[in-house]
Amino acid sequence: MTYMEDDQCVRFLQWLLPQLHMRWQGFRKVRKQVCKRIQRRISELELTDVDAYRQYLLTHADEWRILDHSCRVTVSRFYRDKVVLEHVCTEVLPELAEAAIAAGDTTLRSWSAGCAMGEEAYSLILIWDKSAGIGYPQLDIEIVGSDIDELLLQKAIRACYTYGSIKALPGSWLRSAFTQQNNEYCLESRLRNKACFIRQDIRDRHIKGPFDIVFCRNMAFTYFDNALQTEMLDYIHHTLVDGGALVIGGHESLPDGFSGFEQWSRQRAIFRKKLTVNIEQ
């Protein structure tokens, strides 16, 4: 067996990704992670090289599911995109809280799509508990985290992390919300219990909402092709309440031509679902 050179892997991914409704641009900087997985799979199958693997794919339909799994990129940590999250804390959550109270609700509901080990979901809970929610004692927050990887979800439920994963959090939050156990930092149960985690491929569109805020960051709008991005955006739109917030990655953008959202203030990574206008006949 020969090992893939970088240019061989690039050519293979450029052939492969469109067939999975993904786009090469999203994988360009993270391709080494994916290439290592593909190389490992070629070794497991005892194939000679990537060309032999391509031929294998043409005659083994079940292999595409395994390859789809190999193309998942997981990079997550607490308080990722600090500027975006601070805007969520100071502007988005207070506005959503006021709307929820006016509607008679007692809970803000949120969804973290592609939640990995729960860092994003728990970051939102910490933001609410330690800052944004202090002025709204009549409101609680709950979050659904979804991911396709069962192993990552089990780690999310356990909620214990290395220091490298949580080091971006404010020091006072870290000291008050986590307990150190050997080389891990475990989130206190009171906060952990505000999140639930379910196994879901976002492409299957099983989560119905309604949610006040949805996080879909560094996943669909990075790796999916334009057609699939538009489908996912329509799906997310239907899960949100009118005026609800969609938060994407700091370097992402929404596909062109979708009119259901508007920019939230000047923050390019946060969008508001436009209000539905009912016209009486």
Residue 53 amino acid letter? Y
Residues 65-91 as b or e (16 or more Cβ within 10 Å = b): eebbebbbbeebbbbbbeebbebbbeb
Cα 85 to Cα 139: distance, rounded to the nearest angstrom: 20
Structure confidence at residue 1 (pLDDT): 65
Measure CA 142 to chain center.
16
> Which one-letter DSSP state was computed for residue 270?
E
Distances in whole angstroms, Cα of residue 10 to Cα of each of 24, 220, 246: 9, 21, 32
* Residues near 228 by beta carbon (within 8 Å), at least 6 away in sequence: 21, 22, 203, 220
Question: What residues does each domain of the chain span?
Answer: 6-70, 82-273
* Residue in the block written with tokens 């953008």: 253
In the chain, which residue ranges form alpha helices assigned H by DSSP?
6-16, 24-27, 31-44, 50-59, 63-70, 82-87, 93-102, 119-127, 150-158, 163-166, 171-177, 189-192, 220-223, 226-239
- Each residue's pLDDT tens digit in the chain (281 positions)? 677 899 999 999 999 999 999 999 999 999 999 999 999 999 999 999 999 999 999 999 999 999 999 998 887 899 999 999 999 999 999 999 999 999 999 999 999 999 999 999 999 999 999 999 999 999 999 999 999 999 999 999 999 999 999 999 999 999 999 999 999 999 999 999 999 999 999 998 888 889 999 999 999 999 999 999 999 999 999 999 999 999 999 889 999 988 899 999 778 899 999 986 554 44
Distances in whole angstroms, Cα of residue 88 to Cα of each of 70, 72, 141, 208: 32, 27, 14, 23
Q: Give the DSSP letter string of 160-229.
A: EE-HHHHTTS-HHHHHHHEEEETTEEEE-HHHHTTEEEEE--GGG------EEEEE--SSHHHHB-HHHH
Cα 97 to Cα 205: distance, rounded to the nearest angstrom: 27
CATH superfamily for 82-273 is Vaccinia Virus protein VP39 (3.40.50.150)
Structure confidence at residue 113 (pLDDT): 96
